[in-house]
Structure formats: C-alpha cells, structure tokens
C-alpha cells in the first residue's frame, strides 16, 4: 500500500471516530432535554465531511 492509501485508511478511521463522537453528543443532548441539534454536532459533522473528502482525494491519487 502506498503512502496515499495508508493516509486514506487513517482518515477513514478518524471518520468513524467522529461518527461515534457525534452520536454520543447527540445522545447526551437528548438526555439533557435538548430540542435542537447541538452546535458541537454540527461542527463534528463538518470535520467528518472534510476528512471524508481528504480520504477520497488520497484514494484517487493512489490509483
């Protein structure tokens, strides 16, 4: 596997971690009685999308 592929794998792992963290924050918000999506979740979603895009670019470069 190339350096690009290795970095893409690491980013995909980070994407999974961000998913878990976002879900945890949503659960906490619901448990606390929140009626709106927390800002933390919105920011984690942005970070997740950025990591997904970066992983995709690295996969393309790896071909």
- 2-60 per-position pLDDT tens digit: 899 999 999 999 999 999 999 999 999 999 999 998 999 999 999 999 999 999 999 99
List Cβ<8 Å contacts ≥24 apart for 37-44.
Answer: 44/18
The closest of 38, 18, 17 to 27, measured between CA atoms, is 38
Question: Distance (Å, rounded) from C-alpha 25 to C-alpha 45?
Answer: 11
Per-residue pLDDT at 1: 72
Q: Domain span at residue 11?
A: 3-62
- Name the domain count of the chain: 1
**Predicted local distance difference test score (pLDDT) of residue 50:** 98
Residue 44 token pair: 């984690």
pLDDT of residue 21: 96
């Amino acid at each position: 596997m190339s350096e690009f592929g290795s970095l893409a794998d690491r980013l995909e792992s980070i994407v999974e971690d961000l998913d878990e963290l976002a879900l945890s924050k949503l659960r906490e918000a619901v448990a606390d009685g929140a009626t709106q999506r927390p800002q933390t979740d919105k920011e984690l979603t942005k970070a997740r999308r950025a990591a997904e895009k970066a992983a995709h670019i690295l996969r393309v470069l790896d071909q």
